[in-house]
Amino acid sequence: MEDCGALFATERYGSGESWHYVAKDGAMESRRDGREDESRGNSFGGLFKSVFLPQGYPESVSGDYLQYQFWDTVQAFSSSLSGTLATQASLRGVGVGKQEATVAAATVTWLLRDGTGMLGRIVFAWLKGNKLDSEAKKWRLFADILNDFAMFMEILAPFFPAWFTLIACTSGLFKAVVGVAGGATRAALTAHQARRDNMADISAKDGSQETLVNLAGLLVSLILIPLVTDNPALTISLFFLFTALHLFANYKAVRSVVMETLNEERLSIALRRFLHDGRVLTPMEANRQEPVFLEFRKTLPIKLGVRLQEVVQSPEEFRLALMRKGAPFLLGITNGCVRVCLAAHARTRDEIRATCQAIWLSDVLSPRRQHGLSEMVHKSYKLMDTEFDAFHKGLEAAGWDVTRTLLDWDEWRLEWKPKIR
């Protein structure tokens, strides 16, 4: 019987390769675990994986990475084709191919469009920048819907020459919003996918995937352009087809994301279920129920991390609040809004508890109710005194990351003296 040697070491490259090292006749030999020879197909697959997937895949990324990237690839491809149709319409609108068109007029239209977009980018980032982390799924989907609407406006613009500049500027404004919302939420999702602090690698490979998809879209566009030129009906029909595919893929993409950090929506879903039957939902269960479309609130709005003067209006109210609660936050209801003032020494656990109380109050109170508010606030403290410890332990046991949150806290923090005269 042939001497196979004595095994003295084994090494792995993630879950992709495994090698054994054996000592035989005083020498060291390395042997691949499994088949010794790889086929051409496997070699190509390994190369493709190393070029387009993060190093260490699948261990280095979140479990939802592959499903999300698949649908993201589908939406990028369909968006690339829709963009080709929109670009052709924009060029026709500024006069490309018309003898009476002037370079100056086309340039002015383009500059006005770009300038409007720049201003819109600044204003949107100022107004909504702090929401893009806590509501990444909603704003991601919103950005893609708005992008499709902007491209539809570009396709229709040549049919309204007198309004072309206004339509082009409006479309540019929408696309600027798309750029901010899409880029910021992509960064938030990349942070979620990175399991080894490898955000840069994931982002770079995402760029490679998108470039490959855009290249495929470019090749298909070369076939489409001759077919849709001077054929508005076919252009619009194809646009609606690609848009439907784009929106469906985007919906599936954001639905596939399972985030283990708590934002207001996921926390409220988990809290309601716990208060109903004592069970804490897992991240997978709560993410499936999380709404992914922006919606108008039917309950009292919640503002976290507000100034003290938004919660109490006098030293007496402040003294009573401290005597009644004793928690590292103050909670009140003013002007139809649940407001939370956070202490400077509050921890992440305190932030979660304060948000839980605010969510409960928002659910049980009507926006028009103006009486009995202080009693309901007091009741919320008593409820959390009884239930929160078990709920917090349940969150940890269910797999939630309670060391950090995506709750939309503002930056105001309060320090107070033990006694107030």
Residue 14: predicted pLDDT = 65
The answer to whether residue 43 scores a pLDDT higher than 70 is no
Residue 230: predicted pLDDT = 79
| Confidence grade of residue 278 (pLDDT, cut at 50, 70, 90) | very high
65-257 has CATH 3.40.718.10 classification: no
3-class secondary structure, 61: strand
pTM: 0.85
CB 308 within 8 A of CB 329: no
User: pLDDT tens digit string along 220-234?
Assistant: 988 988 888 878 888
| 90 vs 67, residue with greater confidence | 67
- Phi, psi values for residue 13, rounded to 5°: -110, 90
Quote the percentage of the chain above a pLDDT of 70: 87
The answer to whether residue 128 scores a pLDDT higher than 60 is yes
| Confidence grade of residue 39 (pLDDT, cut at 50, 70, 90) | very low
Mean pLDDT, all residues of the chain:
86
Element (H, E) at 304: strand 302-304
DSSP state of 15: T
| Confidence grade of residue 41 (pLDDT, cut at 50, 70, 90) | very low
Amino acid at the residue 77: F
| Confidence grade of residue 1 (pLDDT, cut at 50, 70, 90) | very low
- Phi, psi values for residue 286, rounded to 5°: -70, -40
Average pLDDT over residues 374-390: 92
Average pLDDT over residues 20-48: 66
- Phi, psi values for residue 118, rounded to 5°: -65, -45
User: pLDDT tens digit string along 84-124?
Assistant: 888 777 766 555 445 444 556 667 777 888 889 999 999 99
What is d(CA 208, CA 212) in angstroms, rounded to the nearest whole number? 6
In this structure, is the dihedral angle defined by the CA atoms of residues 339, 345, 351 and 353, taken in order, positive or negative? negative
Instruction: Tell the residue number behind the tokens 């369909």, with chain if given.
Output: 78
Alpha helices in 194-263 (DSSP H): 199-228, 232-256
| Confidence grade of residue 388 (pLDDT, cut at 50, 70, 90) | very high
User: pLDDT tens digit string along 235-248?
Assistant: 889 999 999 999 99
DSSP state of 39: P
Residue 418: predicted pLDDT = 59
- Phi, psi values for residue 321, rounded to 5°: -65, -45
Domain coordinates in residue numbering, the chain: 6-52, 65-257, 262-414
Query: CB under 8 Å to 400, separation ≥6 — which residues?
Result: 260, 261, 262, 270, 283
Residue 370: predicted pLDDT = 61
User: pLDDT tens digit string along 279-299?
Assistant: 999 999 999 999 999 887 667
- Nearest by Cα to 65 from 185, 165, 195, 163: 195
The answer to whether residue 249 scores a pLDDT higher than 50 is yes
Question: Angle, to 10 degrees, between the axis of helix 264-277 and the axis of helix 348-364?
Answer: 70
Residue 419: predicted pLDDT = 58
Residue 163: predicted pLDDT = 87
Pairing verdict, β 17-24 and 329-334: unpaired
Amino acid at the residue 356: C
Residue 373: predicted pLDDT = 83
CB 337 within 8 A of CB 301: yes
| Confidence grade of residue 77 (pLDDT, cut at 50, 70, 90) | very high
Average pLDDT over residues 22-30: 75
Q: In the structure encoding, which two tokens stand for residue 330, read together?
A: 């103050």
| Confidence grade of residue 335 (pLDDT, cut at 50, 70, 90) | confident
Of 210-214, 273-277, 369-373, 385-389, the poorest mean pLDDT is in: 369-373
The answer to whether residue 385 scores a pLDDT higher than 80 is yes
Average pLDDT over residues 342-353: 94
Largest CA distance in the chain: 94
CB 387 within 8 A of CB 282: no
3-class secondary structure, 296: coil
- Phi, psi values for residue 359, rounded to 5°: -65, -45
Residue 118: predicted pLDDT = 93
Average pLDDT over residues 366-388: 83
Of 9-23, 259-273, 332-346, the poorest mean pLDDT is in: 9-23
Residue 38: predicted pLDDT = 44
Residue 40: predicted pLDDT = 38
The answer to whether residue 395 scores a pLDDT higher than 80 is yes
